[in-house]
Amino acid sequence: MSEKGLMLDRVTIALGGRVLVSITHAVAPGEVLTVMGPSGSGKSTLLAYVGGFLDPAFEASGKVSVDGVDITRLPAEERHAGLLFQDALLFPHMTVAGNVAFALPAEVKGRALRRARAEEALADVGLEGLGERDPDTLSGGQKARVALARTLLSSPRMLLLDEPFSRLDAELRQQMRELVFGKAKASGLPVILVTHDEADAAAAGGPVVRIGA
Ligand code: ADP
Ligand code: MG
């Protein structure tokens, strides 16, 4: 099957014999599948399985494919999942531009070219000219944008979002939702968003799956 997008086919994840997550779902390019559930229900675990970094403590089965290609057995670095978490996770010892350039594929050669690409990516998320800054001097909303720029620059084939808006205040949260979902749509990236915020699901506008209690 060569269906475009992300396919979760009978993905089942258990811990100590207890099934946490069981899901079959297709996510079209640009579409956001929202997975909701209480804390501890297995949301981050599902993303870890799809991204290829599930802890071996879990027992998992089922197929994950992207654009019809089975990626279930591939190591994380060959799956090209773009990740965003609650915290921006920026390297404190690098500049903002350095953090973003870090995600560039090795094929992009030369300090000046890598630097220019990083600056473009920053401008693209509304952070023009902030490349030289120390990440510690940025606001929470700016850090979230840097993380997004870095993720987009890594040429992902899908986005896996783990409660990425939950630390932002209400106004910034709405801005970031629009920015992230807009970029995903523009790039045709399938997205899995895990959250316990109903407003995230509403903003995502796609199908919603509930796991756990
Ligand atoms: P959520 O993201 O929905 O809050 P998680 O996916 O992080 O939940 O966790 C699901 C369950 O798996 C929880 O009971 C958690 O304690 C457990 N868990 C998470 N990571 C590990 C691990 N590395 N080893 C064993 N159990 C884990
Ligand atoms: Mg979690």
Name the one residue in this structure whose structure tokens are 């000219």.
Answer: 129
CATH architecture entry for 6-80+156-210:
3-Layer(aba) Sandwich (3.40)
Quick one: pLDDT at residue 2?
A: 56
Q: Which of 45, 163, 200 to mutate to test the pocket of ligand 1 (most atoms within 8 A of CB)?
A: 45
Do 146 and 138 form a contact (C-beta atoms < 8 A)?
yes
pLDDT digits (tens, 9 = 90+) for 50-101: 999 999 999 999 999 999 999 999 999 999 999 999 999 999 999 999 999 9
Q: Would the CB of 44 count as within 6 Å of ligand 1? A: yes
Enumerate the domain spans of the chain: 6-80+156-210
**Which residues have a Cβ under 8 Å from the Cβ of 184 and sit 6 or more positions away?**
30, 32, 159, 190, 191
Q: Is the pLDDT of residue 8 over 90?
A: yes
CA 39 to chain centre: 19
Supply the residue whose CA is at minimum distance from atom 26 of ligand 1: 57
Q: What proportion of the chain, given as a percentage, has pLDDT over 90?
A: 95
The pTM for the full model equals: 0.95
Q: Is the pLDDT of residue 1 over 60?
A: no
The burial of 1, by beta-carbon neighbours within 10 Å (0-12 exposed, 13-18 middle, 19 or more buried), is given as: exposed
